[in-house]
Amino acid sequence: MSVIFEQTMINGMAVSNRLVRSATWEAMCDDDGRPTDRLTDLYCDLAQGGVGLIVTGYTFVSPEGKQLHGKMGIHTDGFEDDYRKMTDAVHDAGGKIALQLVHAGGQTDSANAGRQPLAPSAVEVDQFPEVPAEMSKDDINNIIEAFGEAARRAKEWGFDAVQFHGGHGYLITQFLSPLTNQRTDEYGGSVENRSRFAMEVYHKVRDTVGSDFPVMIKLNGADNLEGGLEIDDAVYAATKLSEAGIDAIEVTVGTPASGALGPVRTNIDAPENEAYNMDLARQIREAVSCPVMVVGGFRSPGVAEAAIKDDRVDYIAMSRPFIREPGLGNRWQEGNLATAKCISCNGCFVAGLKEGGIYCVVEKKEQEKKE
Ligand SMILES: Cc1cc2nc3c(=O)[nH]c(=O)nc-3n(C[C@H](O)[C@H](O)[C@H](O)COP(=O)(O)O)c2cc1C
Ligand code: SF4
């Protein structure tokens, strides 16, 4: 049996294999962030298709942290029944599900946030033209509190774990990055100060859910932006989180401003173009004692297996391959080891923006041709 299909544990959570569905915005929630049956069905397909751990799409912890339409929200006690239905259905399908918690920070606009966006400093970022308001200490404390409340709801409503989003230019990355964090107080300047917000979010979440509930982070190993977060600072933050007791770190990269070196890359058409965050993951793996997940361009079982065996990462996370083939894990386990069918064109993302929900546009065209 391939190492990919070994059963493992993350702080008491049994994970049936080493394949993680990386967080993926599906654009399938109501305007107020309430999850839908359509989204629950998608997670059940993933559970039945052999994903060891499903991480939900990014879920806003407070209303001004919302970014895109159809995004899930966990900012209110009002969605309890919907979330319990979701987690029950995934468990009945044999799956495990973690909720990804996010605050978009300055990477949103007032139409989605319902107010001027908040960020560590009043620095405009590429593709988000509104200058955000610099967060006061009260804003910082309120958002940390919101992460804690969100984690409380997630645990009470049946999620198996939470993962907070420390990548892709959202609020936690904005604090980590010297480019977007120009504060002169205890949250800005040195790497210790820039990591403070992430650490405080972690401690608030941990204090809320207790020591025996898995708490994870998706962390940028680098922003790939001049003046942005670099690997040494990411290793520092990862080490501090690991020492503090975080249960897993998923290594990612980039922000929407990073262009070809961003988080969701195209042209993954050969094994040598796969696993594009492996170097960063390796450096973080060497520094920490908690399990490490790596995401970004995994398409072939051989590349995934080598990352686990040779580079000693613990989990392989994928997003787009599971959009095209929710049953990819089962396919590989049953011995059909062909590369994932996803051609990394990002058409699914466009469908989410324009058609009210992500789906694989390439697969749909192929099916239509056959009919
Ligand atoms: C449609 C779409 C939505 C995404 N939404 C999220 C998200 O909500 N949270 C997140 O951390 N990453 C998100 N990502 C990034 C993926 O999790 C992943 O890091 C990236 O696509 C690279 O992995 P892949 O090559 O396996 O797709 C999204 C990617 C896509 C294509
Ligand atoms: S549209 Fe389909 S083939 Fe293209 S990136 Fe998305 S899942 Fe992959």
- Do residues 241 and 199 make contact, with C-beta atoms less than 8 angstroms apart? yes
- pLDDT, residue 57, reads 98
pLDDT value at 305 more than 80: yes
Query: 345 CB under 6 A from ligand 2?
Result: yes
HSE, CB side, 13 Å, CA atoms: give it for residue 55. Answer: 31
Element (H, E) at 60: strand 53-60
Dist CA 9 CA 91 (whole Å): 16
Q: Tokens at residue 119, please?
A: 């960020």
Helix ranges (DSSP H) in 210-288: 231-244, 278-287
**Ligand in nearest proximity to the CA of 264:** 1
152 near 208, Cβ under 8 Å? yes
Q: How remote is the CA of residue 319 from the centroid of ligand 1, in Å?
A: 5
Give yes or no for residue 166 CB within 6 A of ligand 1.
no
The ligand with the least distance to the CA atom of 166 is 1
pLDDT score for 232: 98
Give, using CA atoms, the residue closest to atom 25 of ligand 1. Answer: 297
Give the residue among 314, 290, 292, 291 at the shortest CA–CA distance from 304. Answer: 314
Global pTM exceeds 0.95: yes
Is 170 designated active site? yes
User: Does residue 126 carry a pLDDT above 90?
Assistant: no
180 DSSP assignment: T
Ligand 2 pocket member 323 (CB < 6 A): yes
State pLDDT tens for residues 46-58. 999 999 999 999 9
Closest by CA position to 118, among listed 126, 106, 127: 106
- The top-level CATH class assigned to 3-339 is alpha beta
**Using one digit for the tens of pLDDT, what is the confidence trace for 189-224?**
999 999 999 999 999 999 999 999 999 999 999 999
The confidence score (pLDDT) of residue 1 equals 72
CA atoms of 64 and 296, how far apart (whole Å): 28
pLDDT for the residue 3: 97
Distance CA 94, CA 200 (A): 34
Predicted pLDDT at 107: 97
Does 291 contact ligand 2 (Cβ within 6 A)? no
